[in-house]
């Protein structure tokens, strides 16, 4: 077969183009740190990259949900602790008020503090996390407890669920009735017939104002009952926090596993890639030098 100058030129241009593409591909890999930057780099590998990226996004959403659930539960735990402190302070005042040595004026002073504790407990009962009332079930846009008559309020018992894993829904809220006690009928309020937290404070205040040390003493057992239930509700929140932590650890392991698999398919071996890039640059320079000799010749060059 006769080799013409045109054929030499075309072959040289073809080789130069291939070398340039290879050089560009290697430069891109070094710049991005990834072996696969487009489907053409590895059509089969791209399928794995897409699958692993999808799995990572899938479990990262669960991680986001778990983090949100943890935040809600942490806030609830803090608020519950504040409420328990209020009730413990009220019980301490009840112990003082039950003493036979207390004068009517002393009990009146204690009653004033109990009234302030009542208002503080209402504030705590209406606590919000990210704009959601935490003690009113699914009716998070409604404050569950009025400033007066909080003992008569009935809270919603619906559950707020967070999807924190495959088939795993976690209930993060605690109904106010479970923590502060069931609502008391208006006709029974302040008579010491209930262990509702708000009603206990109202009953204590009334007994102190009436200088009724015996009734104050009788309320101590109900304070203990309510504190036990409040502490149990807080412990339940703590148990759910532990569950969220375990799930967060599991999700973190899953995400790390898929990220490792993705890196194994997608990431470039930088040391090897730089070596290949250096070789490709050398080949490209040699190709250009040879091409200059093949393409340039003219009649003048032959006459020389």
* 225/145 same-domain check: yes
- The pTM (predicted TM-score) of the whole model is 0.78
* 90/213 same-domain check: yes
* 30/110 same-domain check: no
**Residue-level pLDDT at 49:** 77
* 29/123 same-domain check: no
**Residue-level pLDDT at 187:** 85
* 165/140 same-domain check: yes
How far is residue 157's CA from residue 160's CA, in Å, rounded to a whole number?
10
**Residue-level pLDDT at 48:** 78
**Residue-level pLDDT at 45:** 73
**Residue-level pLDDT at 260:** 85
What are the residue ranges in the chain where pLDDT is below 50?
269, 299, 302
**Residue-level pLDDT at 44:** 76
* 97/162 same-domain check: yes
* 37/68 same-domain check: no
In degrees and rounded to multiples of 5, residue 190 shows phi and psi of 80, 10
* 234/158 same-domain check: yes
* 18/75 same-domain check: no
**Residue-level pLDDT at 42:** 66
Which pLDDT tens digit goes with each residue over 80-99? 999 999 999 999 999 999 99
* 37/116 same-domain check: no
**Residue-wise DSSP of 132-198:** EETTSTT-TTS-S--SS-GGG--------EEEEETTEEEE----HHHHH-----TTTTTSS----HH
CATH assignment at residue 89 = 1.20.1330.10
* 252/266 same-domain check: no
Number of domains in the chain: 2
**What count of other Cβ atoms lies within 10 Å of the Cβ of residue 284?**
16
Domain that holds residue 95: 61-257
How far is residue 239's CA from residue 301's CA, in Å, rounded to a whole number?
90
**Residue-level pLDDT at 26:** 55
* 148/232 same-domain check: yes
């Amino acid at each position: 077969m006769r080799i013409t100058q045109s054929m030499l030129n075309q072959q040289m241009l073809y080789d130069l183009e291939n070398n340039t593409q290879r050089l560009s591909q290697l430069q891109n890999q070094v710049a991005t740190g990834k072996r696969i930057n487009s489907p053409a780099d590895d059509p089969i590998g791209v399928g794995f990259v897409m699958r692993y990226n999808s799995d990572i996004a899938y479990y990262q959403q669960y991680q986001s949900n778990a983090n949100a659930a943890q935040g809600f539960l942490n806030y609830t735990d803090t608020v519950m602790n504040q409420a328990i402190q209020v009730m413990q302070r009220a019980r301490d005042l009840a112990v003082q008020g039950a003493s036979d040595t207390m004068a009517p004026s002393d009990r009146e002073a204690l009653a004033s503090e109990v009234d302030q504790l009542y208002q503080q407990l209402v504030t705590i009962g209406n606590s919000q996390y990210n704009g959601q009332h935490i003690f009113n079930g699914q009716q998070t846009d409604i404050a569950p407890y009025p400033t007066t008559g909080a003992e008569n309020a009935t809270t919603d018992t619906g559950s707020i669920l967070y999807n924190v894993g495959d088939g795993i829904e976690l209930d993060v809220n605690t109904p106010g009735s479970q923590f502060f006690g069931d609502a008391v009928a208006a006709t029974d309020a302040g008579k010491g017939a209930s262990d509702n937290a708000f009603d206990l404070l109202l009953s204590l205040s009334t007994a102190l104002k009436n200088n009724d040390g015996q009734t104050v003493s009788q309320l101590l057992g109900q304070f203990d009952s309510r504190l036990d239930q409040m502490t149990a509700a807080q412990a339940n929140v703590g148990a759910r926090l532990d569950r969220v932590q375990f799930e967060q650890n599991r999700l973190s392991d899953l995400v790390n596993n898929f990220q490792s698999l993705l890196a194994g398919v997608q990431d470039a071996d930088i040391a090897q890639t730089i070596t290949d890039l250096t070789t490709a640059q050398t080949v490209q320079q040699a190709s250009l030098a040879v091409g200059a000799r093949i393409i340039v010749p003219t009649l003048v060059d032959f006459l020389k």
